[in-house]
Each structure stands twice: as C-alpha cells, then as structure tokens.
Amino acid sequence: MRNIIVERLKQTPLEKQRLEIVERKGLGHPDYICDAIMEQISLHLSREYMKKTGTILHHNADKSLLVAGQAEVRFGGGCIKQPMLFIFGDRATTEFDGVKIDVEEIAINTAKEWFRKNLRFVDPEKHVKYQVELKPGSAGLVDIFRRKGKVLPANDTSAAVGYAPMTRTEKIVLKTEQFLNSREFKQRFPESGEDIKVMGYRNNNNLNLTISMAFVDRYVYGEEDYFEKKAKILEEVNKFVRSNTDFENINIQLNTLDARGRGVDGVYLTVLGTSADSGDSGQVGRGNRVNGLISLNRPFCSEAAAGKNPVSHVGKIYNVLTFRVAQHVYEETPELEEVYIWLLSEIGRPIDQPAVAAAQVVMKDDNSSIDKVRSKIAAILEYELENIDKFCAELAEGKIPIC
C-alpha cells in the first residue's frame, strides 16, 4: 500500500491574495541556456544508451556553467573579443559491458546543435569553447541501472512539489516571453535579442511587468534609433498583454536601466542577442522551475531537473510529476480552487513507492467537506504512481518540456 495523504488546506488561493511576484527567464538568458542544453544532453545520452545497450544507463548531466565572454558593442555592429566557455558536468556512463559511449562528443555536438537552432547570432564554432567534465558515476549509483523491474529504485532521498492551476499573472508572464521570442516577432523586430526576462508583480488587480531585452547592436544605428525601436517594441508588448489578460490596470516597462545621452553605455546592446557574450554567466538550476516559471509565492523544489536521468533520479521525475498530478487532480475535481502535490522519495526504494505522496487542496466552498473528494484525489495519485514507468518514458523521449 502506498502512503497517500489527502488534506484540506486552509489558506487564501494565490489568485485572491494581494501580492504576487512571478519571473520568467527567456530563451537566450544564460541560465536558460544551461538548463536547455544539459536537458538535451540527457535526452541524447538516453537515446544513445538505448541504441547501444537496450537500456538507459546512469547519467546525471545536471551541472554546467556558461562563462560569459567579452564583446565590444557598437552601433551598427560590434565584435566578439573572447568567446564564451561552456563547461559540462557531472556524471555519465562511458562504458557498459564492453560497449563504449563517446560522452564528450555527444555533449559538444548537442550543445552546438542547440545554439544553431535557438540563437540566431551565435556561431557555435566561433563564439563558444567547450570543456567536458562528465565523469563515470559511483559504483552504488551505477548499479541501480543493472537492477530489474518495472521501475528502478530512487537514486536519492528528495522531495518535490507541484501545483495547479496557474494564476493569471503566471500565465501572462509565460505567454509574454514566448511571444517576444516567437519566430514571427523576431522577423518583425530582428533587433530584439533572445535574452529576455519578464518580471511580473501583481498588486490586487493591477499588473506590473518589467521586461529586460537584449538588443542586437547590428540592427541599431545610433542612440535615437535605439529608443525609437524600443518604443515600437514596447507598444507591441502592450497590445499583446492587454489582449491576452483582463487586469484592471497594466503597466509595462522595458529596459529600465537605459539612460539617454550616454551612447552605447546607456542602452542595453549585445553583439549576439544574449548577455552571455559579455555581461552575464549562467548556471543550471538558477533558471525557471519545471513549469517554466519562477513563482515566488509558491513552494518549490530546490533540485535542478535539467540534465538528470529520467528513469531513476527523483530530482527530475518527481519534480515534473507533481505538476502533472496537480493538473490532473484539478481538472477532475471541480470542487477545488487550488491543488498542491508533494512527493518524497527514499533512496533505494522503487520510484513508484514514494515515502509519502500528499495532496493539499483548497476547496472552492468554505463549507464543503474534504471527505467528498478525498477518495477521488487518492485514486488519481494511485493511478499516476502506478503508471510512472510510462511517464518516465515520456521524459526520456523529450515529450515533456522542463524549462
């Protein structure tokens, strides 16, 4: 029998609280780059392991550092003086029963492929250097992958929490970054770089968005041109936000550090569309949570999911699964206002048998009894855990985005 707890949570739903703060780090943010590339490396390793050995082997490619380079920005186009450095860590199986896997080649080729597909102005051969520090794992953790069964044992004692539904603030912060980094927007505004961060602050029914956007210097021909293009982009953002949400008052600001009269020093310019070309380094785990947001009012797991293996590392599996279960519970239980799902693993115990699986729910009607929905919620938790092997397969195939 699984240890499942369902309890009523006596609190004001976040949507009805006065204060809410939500952040989204976008496609070209150095932290996002690290998460996205290391997750792709895990997916490529998993495919190579399956191809060569018939099973996913031990790997936790969840440590990386993107060291910022040096650039000279100029109106009309600057230059890169020192390339970025991408450092890959932590552990990956390089040999199994006499079969060798070229982990270093997979890591570097995956990173280059990601840069080509996602950052228009980054040449992965010229603008980035690579340092691979993916070493073989410890004997105890490697042995987990030799054990038989429907699911593997957890490789760590770790806790995770997910929630549903998203608030209006969370939805619009996520949508705004995705809009600004869409292909259509870049075609219309090529001066807009991929390094975008959206910070949302809601005070009752008033929304404030502060957006940071790296401009690409080759498309900006002077200070006045910069501010004209910035004003046009800000106008587009206002149109988008106002047509996609229903707050009473909306205030949007873009690149608030800008100062007229200071030339290139007073505007946000980059050579490559990311601050990693000279201004800011990145690291796995400092970016978005697995639902794509950093919601400061919510409880969240401190584990970095990106790059962890998808069949044994609960820091990834439970992190993502809690959000799926929360959404499932919310959709199937109309009596609920808000759902929080908690999973706690125990190292060595099968991942479908957590030490505890808990649902904390906020009822829509203060007078409703939790007893009306307790068994339904417990059944959903049972179902999701019973089918965790299918969920892990989806993770391994890259069907579930995590940043």
Sign of the alpha-carbon dihedral angle for 112, 113, 118, 121 = positive
pLDDT at 302: 86
Contact 96, 304 (CB under 8 A): no
pLDDT tens string 12-52: 999 999 999 999 999 999 999 999 999 999 999 999 999 99
Domains in the chain, start-ordered, CATH in brackets?
Answer: 4-14+157-167+293-396 (3.30.300.280), 30-144 (3.30.300.10), 168-283 (3.30.300.340)
pLDDT tens string 91-127: 999 999 899 999 999 999 999 999 999 999 999 999 9
d(CA 129, CA 120): 18
Q: Which two tokens stand for residue 177?
A: 């970054």
Sign of the alpha-carbon dihedral angle for 108, 109, 112, 118 = negative
pLDDT at 260: 97
d(CA 377, CA 381): 6
Please list, in sequence order, all residues whose beta carbon lies within 8 angstroms of the beta carbon of residue 273, skipping any fewer than 6 positions away: 28, 119, 120, 121, 122, 193, 194, 195, 214, 216
Label residue 366 by pLDDT band (50, 70, 90). confident
Contact 107, 41 (CB under 8 A): yes
Label residue 149 by pLDDT band (50, 70, 90). confident
pLDDT tens string 71-83: 999 999 999 999 9
Average pLDDT, the chain: 96
d(CA 189, CA 233): 8
Contact 53, 96 (CB under 8 A): yes
- Compute CA distances 280 → 33, 67, 164, 256, whole Å: 12, 8, 33, 17
Over residues 366-371, mean pLDDT: 87
Is the per-residue pLDDT at 142 higher than 90? no
pLDDT at 1: 83
pLDDT at 143: 80
